Every structure is written in structure tokens, then in C-alpha cells.
Structure 1
Amino acid sequence: MREEGALKHDDLRQRTKNFALRIIRMYGVLPKTTEAQVLGKQILRSGTAIGANYREAYRARSDAEFVAKIGDCLKELDETAYWLELLGEAGIVSAIRLGDLADETDQLIAIFTTIAKRIRGRRRNEG
């Protein structure tokens, strides 16, 4: 079971890193308008913070610390979803081009929500 958890961790670690790389590449091709650059810098910060926070979560010293860091991942994901919406609705990037990133954001939100609920449930059952 421990090995299975490590494999899932490695998969999610790589997935959040790949997500950050996609955000970086998207930022690099944004128009050089003030609006695009301001929104781009916001999404660059939030979209790359997810993987860093997940790495910190995995090194947590307690379940409470782990859940708190997973909460930080969720906060950054929600913020990233917001910036993606603004980029699309402002007409800076077409909704079609943002579709895959928005879908991956939603999937990561679901994954991190499940992880947090599972740990909280385990803590309740132990206590």
C-alpha cells in the first residue's frame, strides 16, 4: 500500500509540474498589452504555486499540516480558475485555447478536494 501511495504522489507531483509548465508557456505567448500582462502575471504566480505547495504538503509533519497545505493548493487552483475565466471573458485568449487548462484546473481541484476529505475522514475515525 505504501508503494501505491508513493506512485500516486509521484504522478500528482509530475502532473502539477506539467500544469505549471503549461501555465508558463501560455504566459509566454500572451499579448503584450497591459491587461494581458497583468492577468498573465497573476495566473503565472497562482498556477506555478500549486506544485510547490503540493511538494510542501508531502513533507508535512502531521495530518493537520498536510491538510493545510492541500488547502493552499486548492486556494491557488481556485485563483487560477478565476484568472483563466478573466482571460477568456475579456477576449484576451480564446475560450477554446483555454479549454484544456480550465479542464485540468477542475480535475486538480477535484483530486485535491478528495485528498483533503480523505485525510480529514481518517483523522475523525482515529479520534
Structure 2
Amino acid sequence: MSQALKDRTKKFALDVWQLCSKLPHSREFNNYVNQLLRCSSSIAANYRAAMRAKSNADFINKLKIVEEEADESQFFLELLQSINRDESLSQEFERLLKEVDQLISITVASLKTARSKFKK
């Protein structure tokens, strides 16, 4: 577990917040935006919690939550990207989707490593 990944997950949450601040304010958008804000910030919060895990099982459990929240963030980014009508936000959606995909990949690889060490 690294400080770099801790910083990266926090930056992702902040970047999602910046994107969400530029989206329209309507009942429909607000529902998806609120969900995205919750799950994107939960990635960073749960990664931090994993760094303080009390056991291997606790670590794996917390990392699994990171994976789930990242997957949920990806879903809501894709959903909002599909209904977005502001072309100026297209590149930001693409960048954030690439970042969350990388965060998922890193988390899955970390889970595989942790599980193999836990079995020994």
C-alpha cells in the first residue's frame, strides 16, 4: 500500500467533485451526481482504512469495498457521460473513466496478491 495510491484516490474524488460541479442541477441529474460523489469519495476513504487494517482478512475486506465503490463510480460516470450534452466535458469524462479503470485494475491486482499471501 502506498502513499502514491492514497494520494491518487483522493485526487480522483476531488476531480469527480470538480466534474460534478459543472453538471446541470435538476432532480434527475442530482440523483446520479449524488451517487457518484458518494462512491468516488468512498474509494479514497476505504483505501485509507485498508492501510490501517488490523489483519489480513480486514485488509482484504476493506480492499474489496474499494473495488466495489470504484466499479460503482465507473457505472455512474458512464451513465452521466451518456446523458451529458455539454461537449466541453467529454474529455474530462474520458479521463476520469480511464483513471477509475486503472484504480479498479490496481485494486484487483492488490486483492489477488493479498489473497495469495493470506493463504500461505
TM-score of the superposition, structure 1-length normalised? 0.87
Question: Quick one: which of 95, 99, 109 aligns to 2:94?
Answer: 99
- Alignment: residue pair count: 118
Q: Which residue of 1 aligns with 2:39?
A: 46
Can you give the 5+ residue segments of structure 1 that lack an aligned partner in the other structure? 1-7
Rounded Cα–Cα distance in structure 2 between residues aligned with 1:97 and 1:54: 23
Q: Which residue of 2 aligns with 1:5?
A: none
Relative contact order higher in (CA < 8 Å, ≥ 6 apart): 2
Larger radius of gyration: 1
- 2:113 maps to 1:121: no
- Percent identity for Structure 1 against Structure 2: 35
Question: Quick one: which of 69, 73, 78 aligns to 1:76?
Answer: 69
Structure 1's consecutive aligned runs of 4 or more residues displaced over 4 angstroms after TM superposition are 92-95
Write out per-residue CA displacement over residues 59-87 of structure 1, whole angstroms, 9 at most, x where no aligned residue.
Answer: 00101100000000000000001101110
Counterpart amino acid of residue 86 in structure 1: L
Instruction: Indicate if the aligned counterparts of 2:19 and 2:92 stay in contact, CA closer than 8 A.
Output: no
Q: Which residue of 1 aligns with 2:103?
A: 108
Provide the aligned C-alpha RMSD in A: 1.3
